[in-house]
Structures are given as C-alpha cells and as structure tokens.
Structure 1
Amino acid sequence: MVKTGPRLFNRELSWLGFNRRVLEEATNPAHPLLERLRFLSISGTNLDEFFMVRVAGLKGHQLQGVEDLSADGMTATQQLDAIAAEADSLVVAQQAEWILLHEALADEGLSVVGEEELEPAAKEWLADHFREQILPVLTPQAIDPSHPFPFIPNGGFSLVFDLRRGKAAEPVVELLMIPSTLPRFIRLPGGKLNFIAIETAIAAHFDQIFPGFEKVAAGAFRLIRDSDIEVQEEAEDLVRYFRSAIKRRRRGRVIRLEFAADTPPDLESMVREGLGADSALVAESAGLIGIADLGQLVEVDRPDLKFPPYTPRFPERIKEHDGDCFAAIRAKDFVVHHPYESFEVVVAFLRQAAEDPDVVAIKQTLYRAGKQSAIIDALVVAAEAGKSVTAVVELKARFDEEQNLLWASRLERAGVQVIYGFVEWKTHAKMSMVIRREGSIMRTYCHFGTGNYHPTTAKIYTDLSYFTASRRAARDAAKLFNLTTGYVRPKGLELLTLSPIGLREKIVSLIDTEIANARNGKPSAIWAKMNSLVDGQIIEKLYEASEAGVSIELIVRGVCCLRPGVPGLSSNIRVKSIIGRFLEHSRIFVFANGDRLPHRNAKVYISSADWMPRNFDRRVEYMMPIENLTVHAQVLDQVMIANLIDNEQSWVLNADGSYTRLKPGKRHFNLHRYFMTNPSLSGRGQALAGKAVPKLRLTQRG
C-alpha cells in the first residue's frame, strides 16, 4: 500500500496543471513575442472551456447532493474549493505575464494604450469612430423594478455603473453589455500598431452614452455558463434534440463570474443577484478581464514577432505517382505525419475519389470538420456525381454541434446518406473508405487518422494519417461502419480493435504479455503516447506491470492521473508532457513483445482513443496495428523516439504531482524542429530515398 498519498491524481487538478504548463510557454524567452501572447490567450480559452464543462459538472453534483468521491477521495465541494484556489492562482499568473508581454510588445511598436496615451489626432479619430461605429451598437439598460436584469450570454463581458443625475437625484444603476460583434481591441490609425481596448474607449466617451449623468462608481464583469450538453437516452430524434439543446446551452447556469478588482461590493452583489448566480465561483482580476481575447492581437501583420512560417511537405510518394493517391497506396502502405506533411493529401484522396468514375462508394466519419471544409465539398461532389456516399456525422462533438448540424444538412441536400450515430456513444474513430471498381475486382482504400478531418487544427496538431489498401483493414473498416450505421456488432475482426467492445480488454492483454515476459526474464517495455491517461483499470494494470519489472515510458500531454516513480507502486514508470509550437495529439501504443525496444518485432499501434473511461466505454474508437515494416520504423524509430528524447519542450511528472521542465544540457533536441527539417520514412518516396535522415537513439534506463 502506498503511504505517500492516493494512488491516483485528481483529474481536474491535473488538467489545471496542464494549463499551467501552457501558460508557462507564454514566459518562454525562446518563443517570439506574439507566440508567447498566443500561449497566454490559449491558456485563457482553455480555462473558460474547463469551467463550461468540467466545473459545471462538479457544480451540478454539488447542488444535487451527489456524494460520489473522486479517484483521490475528494467530494465535489472539496474539488471545487481546490479548483477555485488553483484557478485564481492561474489568473494571477496570467495577469502578471500580460503586464510583462505588454511592455515587451510596446518596445516592438505594438501596444494596447490607455486614454491618457492618445495623441490629439488619435483622440479625434477615436471620437468619430466611437460615434459612428460603436455607439449605435451599444444599448445601456437601467436596472430597476420596471427593467429587470437582462439575460447575458455565455462569455458575455459587461460594464455596470452607479450613476446620478445631479446631487439630489436618486442613484441609477445602468448595465452596458458589450456585444460580441464588436472587436475587443480597436486598431488606431498611424504607423504604429496601437490598439485601445473597447472598455477603455467606452470609458473615454462615457458622456456620449450617459449625457448629464455623474459616474459615482463603476465595475466590469464577465461570466461563464454551463455549456455541456447531456443527451437523454430517451431522445427520439437526435437532430431535433441538439437543435433545442444548443439553444438551452446559451442559457445554462452561471458557473463563474470574473469581476474587475475595482468593482464595488454593492455592484458585485447586484450583479450576482440579478444573474441568479449565488452559487457561482467568483474571481477578481486586477488586470485585463477575458485573457482569451488577446488572441485578436496575435493576428496582426508582424511576422518578425512570430514563429518562422512553415510550409508542410506534400508526400513525395504520391508525387512520384503523378498525384494518383490510389496508385501510391496500392504500391505500399504509408503514413502522413501532420502538420509536417500536408493535410492536403487527405483532401486530395477524397477529391480523387469524388471525381474518379471507377469509384462506386465512399464512407466517412466526421467528428470535427471545421467551418471551411474541403472534405465536405468532396463528399458533396461525389454524391452529386451519383456515387454512394455515407457520412457518419457526430452531433455530440463538444462545441462543434451546431457546425456539424449545418454540415449534415448540406450533405443530405446533396444526396449523402447521413448517419448520426448513437444516442449513448460518440463516434470518435476517424476513418475513410473508398471502394473502387478495378477490372473484375472491388478494391477498398482506407484512411485511418489519429486526428480530425479539420483543416485548421491539421496545421497545428501533430497527428498520423495511415493509408492502406489492405483487404483485412478494409473488411474491418466496413464492420466498424456497419456498427455505426446499422448497430451490427462486429465479429471476426482481423486487425482493428474497437471500443466500446473490447479495446480496454485488448490493452490489458497486451500489458499482461509484457508482465509475463518480465517475470520470465525476457525484455519487456511499454511506450505509449496520448493526450490523457485517466482510466483506473489501465492505471492499476500499469502499476502491476511496473512492479513486475516492465519499463514504462509514457508521453501524456494533458491530464495524467497515474502517479509515477513511487517505490513499490510505480518505480519503473516515467511520464512526460510535451508543450510546444505544435499540439501533440497522436495516440501511439508500443509493446516490446519479447525484444528490447526499439525493435522490428515490437507491437506498434495507432489509435483514435486516449486511455480514459469515456474512450473505452462511451465512444466508438479504433486501434490499428502497424505491420508494414517501413511504417513501423517511422512510427517507432522516428516518431516515438523523437518524443522520448525531446528535451527542449518536455516536462517530467513527479511523484507528488508537480511537473519539472527538462533542461537540455549539452545535447539539445527539439522534436518539432526535427520533423520540420527531415522527411518521413514512409512518405518520402524514391526521390528522397538517398537523403539521410538523422538516426535517433534513446538512452535506455537501467
């Protein structure tokens, strides 16, 4: 029994630790200033979404009196108290970093200025701009018995005033909601990149909004609402249910209120009462409310303050087949490593399928596809050309529900057979099937992805796209689609392992094999890369493997509930997290299989699933073994080792739950830089076959 604390870390506090590592990147002097500002903005967006979903769920449990304990033995109330303290600490750190970045950016000619810093010409321009562009959009509202407190949407930023018209007059409380259609920062004219915050511009022109009033006191606040959508099992029509649920979400319970530090207590109380937010978590900010809005400033045209632009490579293997994706896949399986290799190859695969007269059918899962989707366009073209097109559109993709409803409607109008999946499960597997008539046979080409079919995230998320014409893979993929479209439980799977019908059991079996090998004196090891590690059953099995002598290396970017490096529990487990220019997103699982890693006999898998209860029990996911030797070498000897030896963007998880940033020492290695400058092994083709790719070596433990 472990004496140093609970066997598992708290999931919510682990997530906050991840977001602190994101925030730490805003302090990294190795990053250009606007990239540091981007990380600061991302940390704000992350925190907002955390409150919308995770904290909202805990708050619901607290209000309903649910007494279930977390994995580390905390009640909902105890978790909420710990979350509030850590979130407040994060906000203080965000504000401190904004002060530093504000000063550094000003030295580079980019500044958010106050009213007192405006030159006369800028003041005159701002007055005209305010009168013409801002004032007509603003709607002040008195708060009194005839004007009840208005509804304020999720993320709403508002100003509140205590006003008086003359000394003897009764005070008037006015609320001014700042519409989301107005930019948070207004670009001022001139050669410099000077901006003024919308709230500063409003304060500077107070008399235009409230002529004849005296401002006694003022405050500002921003709110976060419960934004999760829980699907009721008795829902009869998922489309109608989600259209209604999206509207309800906008009016969800207030979870968090962030006030400007100088907001008077009586105005705070009035706002809380008006919003019915007595149970909301309240925070005070001494600086900029809504740190996420700083992302607007990152988009300015200052390439010298950003990472050098990077153009993804298009796989040489497809170029050598004159752009014929099918010919390239027929010749040999290959992996495309995003974002170092272009997502355009996935689009080209489906476009070719849409235009090829020999293609008879396309099947596609869609979890997130973005607002500008060439994937959707290709499916529409294919359907309008008379091909059989099936799209499994997941309505339960959080925060993409509305967009997915729009895509589903467009696909249906084009003649696509749209399937909405399950009420109780999410279809999270990322797969395409293209069935093509070739002479007397039907050949199926498959794409298995670890990421979404999303053109924007494909530029910043590291993911793998595996293309194959394997008949066994095709038969298994067809069974997965039949599960989602017709509830046909798959039997006799040849390659794939699926959840929720066996993935956890398969991983446990693979770990058991490593345990047996260790006990029999054979080499044993597990390397795994994922976004989150939460599942208690898998963690306990990893503990068992560790104490049996299995060497375990885990790369977990975000939440990790496993406690590493504890004698008698997890002494052979190391966990690291990588945060850098790109977001590590691919899921890769490696089992030594009786040989010392890395080795060609190792069992290597790619997957759409993290090791979390939801992925094993409430989602349709896949895990695919990599058998092609070149792809196997790329995923194991290139991708996994690069992740393991990175020392410029890596944090090590300690036994007490804290993270320590690795110090490179004499030999620096940055995995993002490595993949930006070296071709992949499976997609480089003959033209680059002679180009030496630096051999990566891992210093083994023990």
Structure 2
Amino acid sequence: MTVNPGHFDHSAEALPDDRFLDREESWLRFNQRVLELAEDPSLPLLERVRFLSIFASNLDEFFMVRVAGLTRRMATGLAVQSASGRQPHEILERTATVAHELMLRHAAAFHEDVCPALAKEGIHLLRWVDLAETEQESLRRLFRDRIYPVLTPLVVDSAHPFPYISGLSLNLAVIVRDPETDATMFARVKVPPVLPRFIEASPNRFTPLEDVIAAHLGQLFVGMEVLEHHAFRVTRNQDLEIDDDISEGLLQALERELLRRRFGPVVRLEVEESISPAVLDLLTAELEIDERQIYRVGGPLDLAGLAAIADLDLPRLKYPPFVPSKAVIPEDAGIFAAIRERDVLVHHPYDSFTTTVQRLIEDAATDPRVLAIKQTLYRTSGDSPIVDALITAAEAGKQVVVVVELKARFDERANIVWARKLEKAGCHVVYGFVGLKTHCKLSMVVRQDSDGVLRRYCHIGTGNYHPKTARLYEDLGLLTCDPKVGEDVSALFNHLTGYSRQLDYHRLLVAPQSLRPGLVERIERETAHHREGRKAHIRIKCNSLVDEVVIDALYRASREGVPVDVWVRGICALRPGVPGLSETIRVRSVLGRFLEHSRVFAFANDGDPEVWIGSADLMHRNLDRRVEALVTVTDRTQRAGLLELMDLAMDDGTCSWWLDGEGTWTRRVPAPGETLLDVQTRLVRTRRWRTVDG
C-alpha cells in the first residue's frame, strides 16, 4: 500500500481506509513464526518438538475462540465489516486458506524433518505396523490391563443416534460388518484423554494411543468384522458466554456455562488423509459442517501431545540448564527492608519469582507486623504457593482480600476451586466487576514497621502469579513501598471491591478509564516535542497491537517524523513502513526459549524519559472491557535498562522477525559470516538492573 504524503492533513479522518491489517490473519502469522522455530535446525531438537506442540495447541485455541466467535456472530447477524475492511465471510475464507496451509506445513515439518532427526538420536515415533513383534506383544498386555477397561464403543443404528463428539477429543470412526446379516454399521470409539498421547513401546520408542486401540478393535466388536477405521477430531466453540446481569451468583452461572460449553457448535473437523469418502461424508453430515471446515493432514492428529516427547530427560537435546538469579534481593536480606531501600524491578524468568514476588506474599503471611494482604488472581498453578500463603495469612487472623477473575479463559474451573478454598479459609473473595474482567496484576501488603510507620508494600506486574509459568514467560514487575503507589493501589483495590470510583492516580494508568487516553496523550506529546525540535521517540512492547485509536495516534506521530519502535509478540494490525503514513515505524517480533509476555511503554519526553510497565495489551478488550494497570518506573537506572532492552530487540543485528506494510513477517537471518544476537540468551547471561542510582 502506498500513500501520497501530501494528500493528508493531521486528522484521523484523513488516514486511509485500508490502514489496518486483519487481526485473524495476523494471529495465524504469529503461529507461523512459532512453526518456523520448529523448522529451525539450529535449535535443540526437543525444543523443536516443543514448538510443534505449541503450534498445535495455539491453533486449537484460535479455532475455539476466534473462528468460533466469528462464526457465532455471523449466525446471529451481529458480524460487521472488520477494521481491515474485510467482510466476515471473507475473513473466514482467508482464515481457512491460511490455516490449511499452516497445518499441512506443520505435518510436513513433523514427518519430513523432526521425526527423522529424532530417529537419528534414538527417539522413534512409530505407527503400529512399524513396531517390533515384541513391542506389539507388550502393548497387547497394556491394552488388556489399562486401555480396554476405559473404552466405550458407541454404535450408530436405528436404536442408537450418532453420539455427541466433545471438543478436542480424539476419536476413531469404525465401520463394522455383521457377518450374519451382512449389514454394516458406523461406530465411534473415543480415545481416552486420561492416558498418554504417545505410548512407550520400549525405551524411547513411542506409538500413538489410537494405533494401539485400532489394533485391538476386534476385542471391542466381538463377532463383527472391522472393515475400516479412521482417526478424527473436532474443535468446538469454547468461548464463554456469561450474562453478567444475572441475579444469581456468578460462580454458579459460570459452572453451568462450563457444562454448556462442551456442546458448542463444531468449527473444525480434522481427519487423516487416508479417510474414506464414505466415512468423511457421514461425519460431515452428522456434525453439520461444510467442506471449508474439514482439515485433512497426514496423521497422527493432535500433535499438541508432543509436549510429552519434548519433556524426555535428554538434556543434550534441550536448551542449556538455566537457574534464575536470586541476586536482585539477596536471600540474607529482609524483603521488606530491601523494598524500603529502593524500588525493585524484577525481570522473570531471569530473576527468580520464588525469591521476590512469591517471597513477598509468603513472608507477609507469617510476619506478625503485617496487618493485611490484598491480591488479584487471574491465573495460578494447581499447587499454588501464593494461594497457600494467602490461606496461611487468613488463618493467622490477617485481613486478606483476594480479587479472583473467574472468567480467565480456560482457567475457569481452576479459579472456581481456588475461590472456594480461599473463602473457606476466611479470605474475603471478590469476583470483580459486572461486565469487566480483572486482568491487572497487583499485590499489596500493609505492614506496621518497627519505626512505627504503616507502609504499603506493592507489586505491580505484567504477568500472572503463577510460579510455573514464571519460569517460562518473560515478565516484569515492580516492588515498591512508594507512598504514592501505595495510595494508588489502595484506591484501585477499593475500586475493585466496590467502595470507590476513583479515576485519577499518581503513578498508575488504569483501564478502562484512563489507560487509552493516557497513552494517546503521551503519543501526542512526543509528536509535539518532535515538531518543536526536541527529543522524541516512542517505544512499545506488547503481546498484541489492535486498538485503532492507538494505532491512528502512532500513524499521526509517524507522519510528523517521530521514530516509533513496536516490539510485538503476536497480533499486529498496524502497517509499518508505508510511505506517507508510517515511514518511521518499525515492528519487530522476538520468539524463542521464553514466551515474551511483558508490556512496556516508553516515551523519550525531550530527554526525561517516561517508562511504564503493566498488564495491558493494546486491544479493545484490554482497554475497554478489563481492569488493567500500568505503573511508571521512576528509577533512572531501571528506566535506562528497559530502554536498552527495547533498543536491543529493535537492533538490526538481533534475531527477530520484521513486519512489512502488507502484513508479511520476514525472519532476520544472518549473512555469511554474521552472528545475530539472541535477546533472551543475552539476558540469561547478563541479568540486568542490579544497581540503582547512587
């Protein structure tokens, strides 16, 4: 797309209609970048296997949420033209085309590249017919003892309707013949999800579970002749639809909706290429889908299960071991004393989550000087030390308030469990606002210190209070007892629990009231600085950039000549490098060992930089339908470290993907003799922000 620079004034109305990229396709292109990591022979082999698994899992979520949501809106007549200018049916058609291409490419990477490489390392993923006789015999015993008892074959005939196929379940479609009547019947056998996806036949030799079941179908249909069998898998709409205005409790409504969600409409049918036309026609008719929703790939299906192969204990085929640093708050230093001395900026997983954020809550739970703890929980682990510490604090008589977001996607069941467990222990549990998700990451500990001063020790972060993902997700957090932040966080918790409607804060920007206006105001301020010849530079790091208001503000800044650097992990609807529109905007993406998850917003501000970190992505849902919080980083050394990190990611000599104005992502590959810098490897080695201004 080209734009005549002289054609536009500075108003949003003058910007071209086709200035936004399609968000659905942009999401798929993110998953393409994940796939490119799986295809990269320079990466450790089992890490490539893990990226194959992540690709499959990501694509499942894309269909369950994005495709399902668009299909539902079209069916109800609510779908409208997207910001990219595409009609809903055009988006679905384009999505289907790109998804088909990526699924075939994924299967090819598995069969033609990764599997042969695994075989060279003594790891074999084999179909049943390729197993040795001794291996088949051991699996026959396994089938008899562990698999057969949990199988339930369901036949379809005049007395038995076509069974319900649950979302993401793996199934065998079986055609059997009755030798006495010569009648043929369809039967469905569900592959039990409670068993391993790949069964180990002998050390480091695996076969898909459905192959073991298929080899023993005669035992399920005794006296019948098995004519054919084919694996298939369906994806259903699994996005939640909750009426927040209901009079009954949200907890009960959510539990009921979780049951209904299993019966959402089918949005994708995956089948192996070998499936017969007759069986495919039967599935298509019974599931009420069309050709566009059918995805044929070389088996096995459901390669998300490759995660178990990636977990094999073979360190030589994985990234080098990495132990997070504990230096940011020395173990022999009291955490409250360390935070009183200075703001502490933590960078996970490079800094230990356990000895910083988790330690703050655990120490607070047992500290007799602590009077109260307030905490938001969006996602946490199945054995959460954070939850345990909150329970300990409540049982010790401390005031404990926990804002639990029940509608955290795909964690709803776990959050219901935690909410009830916390309530039973005496915590005051709040479920947030009607119509808004509570996505901000906040902790506050109220402590009567030895000097008699009542202080509020706060953590504002970019990631969830989840000790397991804290080792895999890249996130930032600020630990502080700055009175202004304490006032802000107190006010925000009062807002969350229903006792306040405060809109103005000292060091926070809070959605849905002030976050978007605050960012746009700062973008416009940079534009004014540049226009007056002062230092101006906008740097943004986020997971997704979709919001049209923010994008248009960045376009206007670029048209004035402001340098704009965007580091985005996933979706980006902005078109960079378009003449007359976004010539000064660069968009880069970094993917690797850790999931880039932090959000950073930095403004040069004529040499007095403002840097913000927090929970918000630049999407409508985050800015309009969630409670999000950004906090400004005031320590000069910490700000400089964050700016250096941003510049490192945008450097031409860094491993990254570059986005162009047509929506194409190109991986930066080294020229002959060139070595590119890996940001994450660099951070593992350097562990930044260990000093502050003297």
Query: What TM-score, normalized to structure 2?
Result: 0.94
Query: Match of 1:147, as an amino acid?
Result: H
Secondary structure of the residue aligned to 1:158 is: strand
Matched letter for residue 646 of structure 2: M
**Residue 636 of structure 2 aligns with which residue?**
629
Determine the structure 2 residue equivalent to 1:162. 175
Q: Tell me, what secondary structure is at the counterpart of 1:486?
A: coil
What is the alpha-carbon distance in structure 2 between the residues aligned to residue 179 and residue 202 of structure 1?
A: 10
Query: Structure 2: how far apart are the matches of 1:128 and 1:455?
Result: 39
State the one-letter code of the partner of 1:66: L
Q: Is the 8 A contact 2:328 2:351 kept in 1?
A: no
C-alpha separation in 2, matches of 1:172 and 1:559: 46
Partner of 2:569: 557
Following superposition, the deviation at residue 318 of structure 1 comes to 3.1
The separation in 2 between residues aligned to 1:66 and 1:680, in whole angstroms, is 49
Unaligned residue ranges in structure 2 (runs of 5+): 4-15
- Of 122, 132, 137, 2:145 maps to 132
Report how many residues are paired: 676
Give distance in 2, aligned partners of 1:47 and 1:10.
17
Contact residue 646 and residue 669 of structure 1 kept, 8 A? no
Secondary structure class of the residue paired with 2:382: coil
1:353 maps to what in 2?
364
Identify which of 407, 418, 433 aligns with 1:422.
433
Q: Of the candidates 135, 148, 156, which is equivalent to residue 122 of structure 1? A: 135
Q: Which residue of 1 aligns with 2:496?
A: 484
**CA–CA distance in 2 between the matches of 1:245 and 1:198?**
31
Q: C-alpha displacement at 1:273, in angstroms?
A: 3.0
- 1:606 CA drift (Å): 0.8
Task: Please name the residue that 1:694 is paired with.
Answer: none
**1:73-152 → structure 2 map (5 Å cutoff):** 73-99=85-111, 100-152=113-165
Give the deviation of 1:292 after TM superposition. Answer: 1.1
Task: Return the offset for 1:314.
Answer: 1.0
- 1:565 to partner: Cα distance: 0.3
The partner residue of 1:328 within 333, 338, 341 is 338
Cα deviation for residue 246 of structure 1 reads 1.0
2:12 — aligned with what? none
For structure 1, which segment, 282-291 or 610-619, has the greater mean C-alpha deviation from structure 2 after superposition? 282-291
Answer yes or no: is the 8 Å Cα contact 1:646–1:671 preserved in 2: no
In 2, Cα distance between the equivalents of 1:505 and 1:424?
Answer: 20
CA distance in 1, matches of 2:30, 2:443: 32
- CA deviations on 1:235-290 (whole Å, 9 max, x unpaired) are 22211111111111111111111111222222122223333445982211123211
Q: Residue 605 of structure 2 aligns to a residue in which SS?
A: coil
Match of 1:363 in 2: 374
Are 2:485 and 2:507, in contact at CA under 8 Å, matched by a contact in 1?
A: yes
State the distance in 1 between where 2:408 and 2:369 align. 33
How far apart, in 2, do the equivalents of 1:579 and 1:679 lie?
Answer: 19
1:266 and 1:221 map into 2 onto residues whose CA distance is: 14
Determine helix, strand or coil for the equivalent of 2:373.
strand
Match of 2:200 in 1: 187
Q: Deviations over 1:6-35 (max 9, x none)?
A: 200000000000000001000111211110
Q: Give the match for residue 615 of structure 1.
A: 622
Structure-1 residue corresponding to 2:11:
none
The residue type paired with residue 378 of structure 1 is A
1:635 deviates by 1.9
Which stretch of the first structure deviates more once superposed, 260-269 or 248-257? Answer: 260-269
Q: Is 1:518 matched up with 2:525?
A: no
Amino acid at match of 1:282: I
Q: In structure 1, which of residues 550, 575, 593 is the aligned counterpart of residue 587 of structure 2?
A: 575
Say whether the 8 Å CA contact 2:70–2:79 is kept in structure 1. no
Match of 2:650 in 1: 644
Query: Aligned partner of 2:687: which letter?
Result: P
Alignment partner of 1:395 is 2:403 = no
The runs of 5 or more residues in structure 1 that have no matched partner are 596-600, 690-702
What does residue 300 of structure 2 align with? 288
Residues 1:274 and 2:282 are matched in the alignment:
no
Q: Distance in 2 between matches of 1:59 and 1:67?
A: 9
Partner of 2:252: 240
Instruction: Give the direction of change, closer, same or farther, for the CA distance of 1:496–1:685 in structure 2 (3 Å limit).
Output: closer
**In structure 2, C-alpha distance between the alignment counterparts of 1:618 and 1:524, rounded to whole Å:** 31
**Mapped partners of 1:82, 1:642: distance in 2:** 35
Deviates more, 1:308-317 or 1:92-101: 308-317
Aligned-pair CA distance for 1:667: 4.8
Q: Deviation of residue 167 (structure 1)?
A: 8.0
Report what 2:605 is aligned to: 593
Shift of 1:437: 0.7
What is the alpha-carbon distance in structure 1 between the residues aligned to residue 131 and residue 17 of structure 2?
A: 56
Q: How far is the alpha carbon of 1:115 from its aligned partner?
A: 2.6
**Structure 2 residue 677 is the aligned partner of structure 1 residue 669:** yes
Deviation of 1:685 after TM superposition, in Å, equals 8.7
Q: How is 1:189-208 mapped onto 2 (pairs within 5 angstroms)?
A: 189=202, 192-208=203-219
What is the alpha-carbon distance in structure 1 between the residues aligned to residue 481 and residue 596 of structure 2?
A: 27
240-249 vs 113-122, which moves further: 113-122
- Determine whether 1:657 maps to 2:667: no
Given the alignment, which residue of 502, 519, 530 partners 1:507? 519
Q: How far does the alpha carbon of each residue in 1:635-670 deviate from its partner, in whole angstroms, 9 at most, with x for none?
A: 223x32332237453000011110111124435311
**Kept after mapping to 2: 8 A contact 1:527/1:591:** yes
Answer whether contact 1:425 1:618 (CA < 8 A) is retained. Answer: yes
SS in 2 for 1:318: coil
Q: How far 1:490 moved relative to its partner?
A: 1.0
Q: In 1, distance between residues paired with 2:292 and 2:261?
A: 16
Q: Pick closer, same or farther for the CA change 1:317–1:158 going to 2, 3 Å.
A: closer
Out of 275, 290, 312, the residue aligned to residue 324 of structure 2 is 312
1:173 corresponds to: 186
Paired with 1:84 and 1:524, the residues of 2 have a C-alpha distance of 42
Which deviates the most, 74-83 or 115-124?
A: 115-124
1:342 aligns with 2:352: yes
Tell me the amino acid that sits aligned with residue 622 of structure 1: A
The reply to whether residue 257 of structure 1 matches residue 269 of structure 2 is yes
- Aligned mates of 1:651, 1:144 — CA distance in 2: 54
C-alpha distance in 1 between matches for 2:184 and 2:215: 21
Instruction: Answer yes or no: is the 8 Å Cα contact 1:185–1:196 preserved in 2.
Output: yes
Instruction: Output the CA distance in 2 between the equivalents of 1:425 and 1:584.
Output: 25
8 Å contact kept, 2:128–2:211: yes
3-state SS, counterpart of residue 317 of structure 1:
coil
Q: Contact 2:384–2:467 at 8 Å: present in 1 too?
A: yes
Q: What does residue 698 of structure 1 align with?
A: none
Distance 1:16 1:647 in 2: 26
Letter in 2 for 1:174: A
Most deviating of 557-566 and 202-211: 202-211
Asked whether the equivalents of residues 159 and 220 of structure 1 are also in contact (C-alpha less than 8 Å), the reply is yes
From 383, 408, 427, the counterpart of 1:372:
383
Q: Name the aligned partner's letter for residue 174 of structure 2.
A: F
Deviation for aligned residue 1:202: 1.9
Give the letter aligned to residue 402 of structure 1: R
Matches for 1:390-469 after TM superposition, within 5 Å: 390-438=401-449, 439-469=451-481
Q: Which amino acid aligns with 1:150?
A: P
TM-superposed CA distance for 1:204, in Å, is 2.1
Separation in structure 1 between the aligned mates of residue 105 and residue 348 of structure 2, nearest angstrom? 32
Contact 1:608–1:623 (Cα < 8 Å) also in 2: yes
* CA distance in structure 1 between the partners assigned to 2:84 and 2:31 by the alignment: 20
Residues 647, 663 of structure 1: 8 Å contact kept: no
Q: Secondary structure of the equivalent of 2:274? A: coil
> d(CA) in 2 for partners of 1:351 and 1:67?
48
- 3-state SS of paired residue (1:635): helix
Residue 64 (structure 1) aligned with residue 71 (structure 2): no
Decide whether aligned partners of structure 1 residues 476 and 279 sit closer, same or farther in structure 2, where only a CA change above 3 A counts.
farther
Q: Distance in 2 between matches of 1:82 and 1:162?
A: 35
Please say if residues 503 and 514 of structure 2, whose CA atoms lie closer than 8 Å, have aligned partners that are also in contact.
no
Bigger shift: residues 560-569 or 104-113: 104-113
Q: TM-score, normalised by structure 1?
A: 0.93
